[in-house]
Structure 1
Amino acid sequence: MRERLCSKVGCAREAVSTLTFDYGDQMAAIGPLGAGGDPHAHDLCASHTERLSVPRGWVVVRHETLRV
């Protein structure tokens, strides 16, 4: 399986989450890596996931996985 890298320009770290946007509802959703292949989804490394910021007035929904 090919390693997935962060979508941020100049970042070569391994992706750990996937970010999607709903422009109509002014919402960003971030969660575990998606299946891939969606041109509207952006994979992010741990650092960029933590530092995610969105425009004023937008909502961020974070989907966390359970850790056992």
Structure 2
Amino acid sequence: MTTMRERLCSKVACAREAVTTLTFDYEDQMAALGPLGAGDDPHAHDLCAIHTDRLSVPRGWMVVRHETVR
């Protein structure tokens, strides 16, 4: 049985487990937040539940939240 390595929040000094992945589209001034990504994108940021809830973006930007269907 293979165990997955725990992924931690990308925020400085946060040691909580990541639950979402955040990516940015600078051209369209958009941030996309969704389920944990594959983990190999250097431009993606993993966030814990607290930092996911506290997410803020620059004025004029749009946040797209992708929810998982269970």
Same fold (TM over 0.5): yes
SS class of match (1:61): strand
CA RMSD of aligned residues (A): 0.6
Distance in 2 (CA, whole Å) between partners of 1:36 and 1:47 is: 20
1:50 corresponds to which residue?
Answer: 53
Structure 1 position 50, deviation (Å): 0.5
* Number of residue equivalences: 67
Q: 1:37 aligned to 2:51?
A: no
- What is the TM-score with the length of structure 2 in the denominator? 0.93
Structure 2 gaps, min length 5: none
Runs of 4+ in 1 over 6 A off after TM superposition: none
SS class of match (2:50): helix
The sequence identity of aligned pairs, in percent, is 87
1:19 corresponds to which residue?
Answer: 22
Higher gyration radius (CA): 2
Structure 1 gaps, min length 5: none
